[in-house]
Amino acid sequence: MNTNEDDRSFQRWLKKAARITGLGLSTEERQRNLEEQKHARCEQWKAELLSYSPKVVFMLKHLRLSGCAVPPSNVICAPCDLTRSGGFHPAGAIVLCQGHFGSKKHMEDTLIHELVHMYDHCKFNVDWQNLRHHACSEIRANSLSGDCRYMREVGRGYVSFSKQHQACVRRRAILSVRANPACPDAASAERAVNEVWESCFSDTRPFDEIY
């Protein structure tokens, strides 16, 4: 019997068990281990969505046709603050906030939301400092991504049986525009959304309709 090899195997098993259970780890080690698990799950779901989600594949195709191809390396899993689940950078990158997704479907909705922003930026030359431009893209992204489907709204505590989708899109668009550093106050955010509402809510490109 190779006692040294058995001891090393046992130590490796203990370390693996500690990573899985968190037992025997310091607070810092547990936090690092948790982030690694979140990152691994985010990367796995991202790869599956980029390859197999019909809506994601559709958006990637139309971005490519518009001259703005999105390689997988431009979709980044990273830790974020608790105020958001994803983000888009005009340079051509999308951030998925690892650990903020309760399901792969939630991640899919977030990814579609950010891809709509990327599509708008590529296709329509959006000026993100222009509140009307920003409002239009937020209306489209919230409407087309699935962010405002009925059960997602119920989970947020919003229940309505009349124009629930529109109310959600409007509310979330105003919140996003209000967070724009170029927006002076809540009234300006609401005004920008109202001014572009009809044309932007009815614009479902590149989709034929709201799904």
- Catalytic positions are 114
Contact call for residues 100 and 80 (beta carbons, < 8 A) = yes
State how beta strands 86-89 and 75-78 pair. Answer: unpaired
State how beta strands 86-89 and 93-97 pair. Answer: antiparallel
Tell me how far apart the alpha carbons of residues 65 and 148 are, in angstroms, rounded to a whole number.
27
Contact call for residues 115 and 56 (beta carbons, < 8 A) = yes
Tell me how far apart the alpha carbons of residues 115 and 49 are, in angstroms, rounded to a whole number.
13
**Nearest CA among 83, 88, 148, 80 for reference residue 117:** 88
Tokens of 200: 């932007």
Contacts of 132 (CB under 8 A, 6+ apart): 192, 195, 196
Half-sphere exposure of 83 (CA within 13 A, CB side): 5
- CA 57 to chain centroid, in Å, comes to 15
